[in-house]
Homo-oligomer: A and B are copies of this chain.
Amino acid sequence: MNRSNQLFGLERQIGHDFANKALLTQALTHRSFNGANNERLEFLGDGVLNFIIASQLYAKFPKLDEGDLSRLRAHLVKEPTLSEVATALNIGEVLRLGEGELKSAGWRRPSVLADALEAIIGAVFLDAGFDAAQAVVIGLFTPLIEKIDPKAIGKDPKSMLQEYLQSKKIDVPVYEVLAIEGEAHCQVFRVECRVPKFNMTTQGEGSSRRAAEQEAAKLAYAQITA
């Protein structure tokens, strides 16, 4: 497939036909390549993406407070999430990189891919305005927003387990240290988590009691909510 077909395919996937194709080309140009690169567009795109995600979350979760909304947004716009979206769009194949970056496989680097995705969103905004950028972001991120679980983002497994059980009026779990092994400076704790109602026990290990409890709670939560 030649480059212009690839760019056409990308435009179809994001659902935006650029009036100014040079903007798309610039969004796909890494700073290691000669000429106008995508760093300023990334700055713009980061801003509009963050806001559009904020606005979608605000509407979808009317009961969440601003702390939870911030956490959800951070989860959606973090580099690993963005680079996954970019990978699904095959952005790596149309990136323009300098020689050094080509040799070190820069087109596969998550930060490079995430930056290019933000730059594309910034380019759409410049090309056609806020509503166009919003349509592209909604198209790309709605599947992620749909499956997000506000309770599961950013909370530790013990809290999640406890809140889940409380919401079902079930007694909270009991944690018990089963063993402490190893020398003083590298101890390993083994902890059991027991949920009496389900007659369920899980075990976790860790370098502290708390870490071991979190491991055990994670297994229990996964089994209960499976």
Does chain B have a CB within 8 A of A211? no
Copies in the complex: 2
A58 to B122 alpha-carbon distance, docked (Å) = 11
Residues of B near A39 (CB, < 8 A) are 65-66
B42 in contact with A66 (CB, 8 Å)? yes
CB distance from A141 to the nearest CB of B (A): 14
29 contacts between A and B (CB under 8 A): A39-B65, A39-B66, A40-B58, A40-B64, A40-B65, A40-B66, A40-B69, A42-B66, A43-B54, A43-B58, A43-B66, A43-B69, A43-B70, A44-B54, A44-B55, A44-B58, A47-B50, A47-B51, A47-B54, A47-B55, A48-B51, A48-B54, A48-B55, A50-B50, A50-B51, A55-B125, A130-B130, A130-B131, A130-B134
A48 to B125 alpha-carbon distance, docked (Å) = 14
Residues of B near A48 (CB, < 8 A) are 51, 54-55
Which residues between 116 and 156 of chain A lie within 8 Å of chain B, taking CB atoms?
Answer: 125, 130-131, 134
Residues of B near A54 (CB, < 8 A) are 43-44, 47-48
Which residues between 188 and 214 of chain A lie within 8 Å of chain B, taking CB atoms?
Answer: none
Residue of B nearest to A63 (CB): B40
A65 to B31 alpha-carbon distance, docked (Å) = 11
A51 to B64 alpha-carbon distance, docked (Å) = 22
Residues of B near A131 (CB, < 8 A) are 130
Residues of B near A66 (CB, < 8 A) are 39-40, 42-43
